[in-house]
Amino acid sequence: MGKATLKYLLLAGILLPCLGLAPVSAQTASGGLAAFDFLNISPISRAVGLGEAYTAIGDDIGAIYYNPAGLAGMLTSELNITYLALYQSISYEFLAFGYPLGEALPDIGGTVALSAAFLQPGSLPRTNDSDQVVNGTGTFASEDQVFSFAYARAFGPYLQLGACVNYLNQQIDTASTSLFDANAGVVVLPPFDGMRVGLSLKNMGAEAAGFNLPFTLSTALSYRHYDIFSEQDDGALTAEADFPIEPIQDPTGVKVGGEYDYKWIGTRMTVRAGYEFLDTALSGQGLTIGAGYGLDFGGAVLFLDYAYAPEDIFGSANRISLTTKF
Lowest mean pLDDT across 134-138, 144-148, 185-189, 245-249: 134-138
In percent, the amount of the chain with pLDDT more than 90 equals 36
Task: Say what the pLDDT of residue 319 is.
Answer: 80
Distance CA 179, CA 146 (A): 10
Rounded CA separation 294/323 (Å): 9
Instruction: Please state, as a whole number, how many other Cβ atoms lie within 10 Å of the Cβ of residue 317.
Output: 23
Average pLDDT for 171-194: 85
In the chain, where the domains are located: 3-325
Q: How many CB atoms lie within 10 A of CB 76?
A: 14
Strand ranges in the chain using DSSP code E only, listed in sequence order: 78-85, 91-100, 111-125, 139-154, 159-172, 175-188, 195-204, 215-226, 233-246, 253-264, 267-277, 286-296, 301-312, 315-325
Sign of the Cα torsion 295, 296, 302, 305 reads positive
The whole-number average pLDDT for the span 92-112 is: 89
Give pLDDT tens digits for 115-131: 999 887 666 666 656 55
Left, alpha or beta for 286 (phi > 0: left; psi -120 to 50: alpha)?
Answer: left
pLDDT surpassing 60 at residue 300: yes
Is pLDDT larger for residue 161 or for residue 39?
Answer: 161
Strand pairing partners for 149?
114, 165
Greater confidence, 273 or 169? 273
pLDDT at 29: 36
**When comparing pLDDT for 2 and 118, which is higher?**
118
Contact of 299 with 283, CB cutoff 8 Å: no
Distance separating alpha carbons of residues 76 and 302, to the nearest angstrom: 13
Distance, in Å, from the CA atom of 281 to the CA atom of 177, rounded to the nearest integer, reads 22
CATH superfamily of 3-325: monomeric porin ompg (2.40.160.40)
Band of pLDDT at residue 21, cut at 50, 70 and 90: very low
Over 60: is that where the pLDDT of 230 sits? yes
Phi, psi of 4 (to 5 degrees): -65, -45
Give residue-wise pLDDT tens across range 241-283: 988 877 655 567 889 999 999 988 888 899 999 988 865 455 5
* Average pLDDT estimate for 88-113: 86
Average pLDDT, the chain: 78
The answer to whether the beta carbons of residues 282 and 312 sit under 8 Å apart is yes
pLDDT at residue 130, rounded to an integer: 59
Least confident of 7-21, 148-162, 241-255, 296-310: 7-21
Mean pLDDT of 191-198: 91
pLDDT of residue 109 exceeding 90: no
Alpha helices in the chain (DSSP H): 3-15, 45-49, 63-66
User: What would the mean pLDDT of 304-325 be, rounded to a whole number?
Assistant: 76
Q: What is the dihedral of CA 242, 246, 249, 254, to 10 degrees?
A: 0
